Structure 1
Amino acid sequence: MVQRAFHHPIGIQKADIDHMGHVNNSVYLKWVQDAVVDYWSKVAPPEAVARHLWVALKHEISYRRPTFLDDVVVADVIADRVQGARAFFTTVIKRGEETIAEVKSVWCCLDAVSQKPARLAKDVVSRFVPGER
């Protein structure tokens, strides 16, 4: 069964807050990386997790609202598509129903041993992306 959106809770640390009193923009990148990797580790079969690593190639972040230390925040990750060794994700960071940031990212799947790009098996891809075979 394909899980359309994966919910990843985010813990905001005091060190995430910048001189303006809100979460520094650079912290969002760590949140996205943590959320996507967590999604992969929860949905992929254990043998696929052991054989593959992920590296981010591109992040495009649209910031909507500032985030503060006491906010309760979640990242909803959606795998949009897989093309060869690349995977395209959308991560929406929310405070309740309010979207505070939306991130489009491209990732490369690597073989864990050689660290060279690796295509995922079709049965693994189908766990993430509806209609992908």
Structure 2
Amino acid sequence: MPAVPHAFPIAVDADDIDFMGHVNNASYLKWVQEAVISHWQKLAPAEAVAQHLWVALRHEITYRKPAFLDDEVIATVILEKVQGARAFYETVIRRGEEVLAEVKSSWCCLDAETHRPARLARSVIERFF
């Protein structure tokens, strides 16, 4: 069953621009984190959002083209799979039809109280597919 994609609009701010006049690589990672968390908050039930936190374990990013101040940028997030307490995402960052970056990332779900890894209920996971 196909995953439900999540479009996350990104505002490129002056703070994102580096010494070469384009978006700093660190900003892409910040955007991916914001986009993945937004995806979780949009599709998961409020109770699950309140009970769980997400931390990034790994980001593998391929930069295709630079982004610049005031570009209209969209991150499209897709949950590829959930395995135990881990979730695997693909995020594509675009300016119009141009792919700026492709990111594969893995995340760990934590219990919000104990901060220990937590498995999600199947009913929660099914909302993403």
> Do the two structures share a fold, i.e. TM-score over 0.5?
yes
Match of 2:125 in 1: 125
Match of 2:31 in 1: 31
Match of 2:70 in 1: 70
SS of equivalent residue, structure 2 residue 58: strand
2:28 aligned partner, one-letter code: Y
Distance in 1 (alpha carbons) for counterparts of 2:81 and 2:109? 13
Q: Does 1:10 align with 2:10?
A: yes
Q: What is the TM-score when the length of structure 1 is the normalising length? A: 0.94
Q: How many percent of aligned residue pairs carry the same amino acid? A: 62
Q: What is the TM-score when the length of structure 2 is the normalising length? A: 0.97
Q: Does 1:106 align with 2:96?
A: no
RMSD: 0.9
Distance in 1 (alpha carbons) for counterparts of 2:25 and 2:113? 33
Deviation at 1:4, TM superposition (A): 2.0
Match of 2:60 in 1: 60
Deviations 1:10-62 (Å, cap 9, x if unpaired)? Answer: 01110100000000001100000000000000100000000000000000000
Distance in 1 (alpha carbons) for counterparts of 2:27 and 2:58? 15
Distance in 1 (alpha carbons) for counterparts of 2:92 and 2:10? 12
Deviation at 1:3, TM superposition (A): 5.7
Q: Does 1:79 align with 2:62?
A: no
SS of equivalent residue, structure 1 residue 68: coil
SS of equivalent residue, structure 2 residue 127: coil
Distance in 2 (alpha carbons) for counterparts of 1:95 and 1:83? 31
Q: Are the counterparts in 1 of residues 59 and 103 from structure 2 also a CA contact under 8 Å?
A: yes
SS of equivalent residue, structure 1 residue 127: helix
Distance in 2 (alpha carbons) for counterparts of 1:65 and 1:4? 26
SS of equivalent residue, structure 1 residue 48: helix
Q: Are the counterparts in 1 of residues 3 and 79 from structure 2 also a CA contact under 8 Å?
A: no
Unaligned runs of 5+ in 1: none
Aligned pairs, how many?
128
